[in-house]
Chains A and B, each alone.
Chain A
Amino acid sequence: AQSVTQLGSHVSVSEGALVLLRCNYSSSVPPYLFWYVQYPNQGLQLLLKYTTGATLVKGINGFEAEFKKSETSFHLTKPSAHMSDAAEYFCAVQGAQKLVFGQGTRLTINP
């Protein structure tokens, strides 16, 4: 069975600083991996996904993630944080069509 662990339920960075949100996965088959973002009182929006091919995946709003099989990781990064990035971020692995989500990381941006 697939599972995802997000390291750190809360991350706080200063505006303009690097954003790093950590995700480790467990999967018995080659994984399909996703990052979703949830803004307050809104649904889940896809940031990016990895299926096959290039291990560095670029997404919307300047985010990117790198699939590292040897480390079973799919960490999300953004070089320079904006105030508008404040939200909850979910890593997910696709198992038997459905998505299995991590517990989420709440990102706070300090001015």
Chain B
Amino acid sequence: DSGVTQTPKHLITATGQRVTLRCSPRSGDLSVYWYQQSLDQGLQFLIQYYNGEERAKGNILERFSAQQFPDLHSELNLSSLELGDSALYFCASSVEEAGNTIYFGEGSWLTVV
């Protein structure tokens, strides 16, 4: 158990819909990261937050957005869903110092039908 909690574990939704994925970081970790894992793209970094502020942005679509709340939990919002958005979405957290381990949750499986 990494200490990073993600909900829901599985989600099936239709094209055009919107979903929210939720993440609770490890106790004491101020940084939260979101990654997308798909068969064709591999593990892609989406976005990072540190103590409520956006810190880095990767290959995140404009239809996707995220935020980190004062209690440090984070949400990833995916809208106008397309079939190609079907993937495993990971949340990870760390103490933000170079070389520190980034701990991953077990992921949220999103299937768009």
Contacts and interface: CB of A to CB of B under 8 A. Distances in A.
A44 B48 contact: no
Contact of B101 (A43, A49, A90, A104): A49
A51 B103 CA distance: 16
Query: Chain B: interface residue count, which band?
Result: 20 to 34
A8 to B, nearest CB: 14
Interface in A35-90: 36, 42-46, 49, 51-52, 90
B55 to A, nearest CB: 7
B107 A43 contact: yes
Interface in B81-113: 90, 92, 94, 96, 98-99, 101-107
A97 B101 contact: no
Query: Chain A: interface residue count, which band?
Result: 20 to 34
**Majority SS of interface residues in chain A?**
strand
A97 B58 contact: no
Contacts of B43: 90, 101, 104
B45 A100 contact: yes
A45 B4 CA distance: 12
A81 B31 CA distance: 35
8 contacts: A32-B99, A34-B102, A43-B105, A43-B106, A45-B2, A98-B58, A101-B42, A102-B42
Interface of B: 2, 4, 31, 33, 42-43, 45, 48, 55-56, 58, 90, 92, 94, 96, 98-99, 101-107
